[in-house]
A = this chain, B = another copy of it.
Amino acid sequence: MKKIINNPDKYLQEMLDGIYIAHNDLITYTNDDKQCLVAKFKKEGKVGIATGGGSGHLPLFLGYVGQGLLDGCSVGDVFQSPSAEQMLAVTKEIDSGAGVLYIYGNYNGDIFNFDMAAEMADFEEDIRVESVVAGEDVASAGPTKDGKNTRRGVAGIFFVFKCAGAAAEKMLSLDEVKRVAEKAANNVRTMGVALTPCIVPRVGKAGFSIGEDEMEIGMGIHGETGIRRGKLEPADKVVDEMLEKIVEDLPYVYGDEVAVLVNGLGATTLDEQYIVTRRIDENLKSRGIKVHRYYVGEYATALEMAGFSISLLKLDDELKEYIDAPACTPFFRQ
């Protein structure tokens, strides 16, 4: 394991120490627990938006706490859910009477804890909480059991944060902010490709391997199995295969307008991400799908995994307004 760390058991706390040192103008923590991160400035009467999840995905999740995006985030150990108590502490801190919306990824640990936190907020604190579970990964789409969404939540959750955050900033009600978040969640799809595994610091070695000439299409951001492993192909061919699956899934059709997120998983250069962007643009143009805005860079990583993901968000006039709204957080400014 070649990482610049000290004791793996102190990885999370030392990382959080650094985050608070570097960004003390924008964020702080509550409940005397650095894993309970909240925005420094609270807008009275605004719906609070909280997220949470495991570490190892920076800038996800905590990097999006700030003006125009999220109000709080509970942070778990690497690839582990934070506790319901930590989520509740964040909820109490960010509520200012208008209620709190939870937006988080479709993982069992997170669902269990966020549901418990929502119940505690309601019964113990009289705070109204609503939840939107983001799961937009095309590779894990199903077959669905009992009508349940089996899709993993991956980089596309950024678009859900962005739209809901802008709606809350506009002082919409909890029901309205939830409606906007659901609309964004229902209109986003993501597909990823991994070239190398990543190593959880406490484990010290990769849980799987990918051959020197191989890639795995559809791999999750914790190394979950994808849909196809094969020889690494030229960028254009990889993009075309991923887009084919993404576009067919919603589907996105001729005349649609979209926002596009090209997300580096950790070790892949920006150069490569822009080579990918070029092909996405060609491909979508040939389908008559118009791109309103591109985001390119590391938005949701998987530690030092090499690879990238593509997310499309289908826009209408309302979502376009929210996507274009300003935001100011440690990792995202627009």
Contact = CB atoms under 8 A, between A and B. Distances in A.
A212 B1 CA distance: 8
A330 to B, nearest CB: 9
- How many copies of the chain does the oligomer comprise? 2
Interface in A20-64: 21-23, 55-56, 58-59
A9 interface: no
A3 interface: yes
A203 interface: no
Given A4-B276, A266-B267, 19 more contacts: A2-B212, A2-B213, A3-B269, A5-B234, A5-B235, A5-B272, A11-B275, A14-B235, A14-B275, A18-B275, A18-B277, A22-B274, A22-B277, A58-B271, A266-B269, A269-B301, A269-B304, A270-B301, A271-B303
A301 to B, nearest CB: 7
Nearest to A210: B2
A2 B196 contact: yes
B333 A6 contact: no
Name the interface size band of chain A.
35 or more
A232 interface: yes
A61 to B, nearest CB: 13
A159 interface: no
Contacts of A323: none
B278 A18 contact: yes
13 contacts: A2-B195, A4-B235, A4-B276, A5-B234, A5-B235, A14-B235, A14-B274, A15-B275, A18-B276, A18-B278, A23-B294, A266-B269, A269-B303
Nearest to A21: B281
A236 to B, nearest CB: 6
Nearest to A211: B2
B273 A308 contact: no
Given A267-B266, A267-B267, A278-B17, A272 B4 contact: yes
Contacts of A272: 3-5, 15
Nearest to A2: B195
A55 B4 contact: no
A296 interface: yes
Nearest to A332: B333
A98 interface: no
A171 interface: no
A306 B199 CA distance: 14
A172 interface: no
